[in-house]
A = this chain, B = another copy of it.
Amino acid sequence: MFYHDKKLQYKVRVDKPNPAFARMLQQAIGGIEGEIRVCLQYMFQAWGCRGPVKYRDMLLETGTEEMAHIEMLATAVALNLEGASNTLKDQVAANNPLVEGIMGGMDPRHILSSGLAAMAVDSNGVPFNGSWVVGSGNLAADMQANVMAESTGRVLATRLWEATDDAGMKDMLAFLIARDTMHQNQWLAVLEELGGVANNHPIPNSFPQSEENSAFSYSFISTDINRPDSPNTRWTQGTSIDGKGTFTFDHAQPHGQEPKLGPPIPEGHAQKEQMESGGLGGLVDKVKDKLL
């Protein structure tokens, strides 16, 4: 269960409110790289965690922290929107490019729907989507998902840092960027503890590799129509990264058949012509005979 403190995890200060930057910050709240995603992702992974309990504990610790990050960003959005629209009517009504530029730069729903506050959407107003919350039940796969989330999340945060000269916002983002640094390391630590690449991969490591079609397990398949020679890269020669095979280089070729599906079932009401085995050569005539 959960508790809160009315104070923020880190200070949020906006020196010069900027509605366009408020819109950009929404990406870090409700976007696929954002904090709602990692908060719920770590929580759901914790709540479904099977295996050593220390991983469940750790996920719960950090999932709880991420909720505080949503809070910081939501506060930052509200502060960036303050004072933003007190001349709204004049602006829209004026119908000149400058004014429309203001409207364009901000999210109109920050005025219309939320009354100058954050929403659970991204920087284009697209709602947060629960499909982004990945918890596979496989610990290593989940850690990879978490490293990925913190990597794209830190990339986003550094881009937001570049996009503002507001000292308060830069300070808040410098904190969040640091936390992303820690969280990348944290999930990597689990992967290391689980034995590193050599033990984890191929994920899942519990599936017997003898059951996979091993002729294709370490072959780089080139689909290039010009059939180039092997580029002699790390992924086309030498021992595989998981240490369990040797990379080879092959040109794509079909190992399968041309698919043949059966005729449509009558109840599916395809066109009649699809059901006739003889093709469509004399179609129009046959149709006339039958229908007209």
Contact = CB atoms under 8 A, between A and B. Distances in A.
A119 interface: yes
B47 A74 contact: yes
Interface residues of A, number: 213
Given A100-B20, A109-B124, A184 B203 contact: yes
Contacts of A196: 284
Contact of A185 (B144, B247, B271): B247
A3 B6 contact: no
A35 to B, nearest CB: 12
Interface in A58-106: 58, 60-65, 67-68, 70-72, 74-75, 78-79, 82-83, 85-86, 88-90, 92-93, 95, 97-106
Contacts of A79: 259, 261
A216 B175 contact: yes
Interface string A194-208: 111111111111110
Nearest to A17: B95
A112 B225 CA distance: 35
Given A117-B135, A194-B273, 9 more contacts: A24-B92, A52-B280, A58-B235, A75-B261, A85-B265, A85-B268, A103-B105, A155-B203, A159-B268
Copies of this chain in the oligomer: 6
Q: Which of A113, A199, A200 has the most CB of B within 10 A?
A: A113
Given A107-B124, A130-B129, A2 B287 contact: no
B124 A108 contact: yes
Contacts of A259: 8, 12, 47, 75, 78-79
Contacts of A192: 234, 241
A264 B51 contact: yes
Contacts of A38: none
Given A7-B1, A113-B27, A271-B203, A151 B140 contact: yes
A211 B72 CA distance: 19
Interface in A115-170: 115-141, 144-145, 147-148, 151-152, 154-156, 158-166
Contact of A44 (B89, B119, B283): B119
A184 to B, nearest CB: 5
A1 to B, nearest CB: 4
A124 to B, nearest CB: 3
Contact of A124 (B32, B126, B180, B268): B126
Nearest to A8: B256
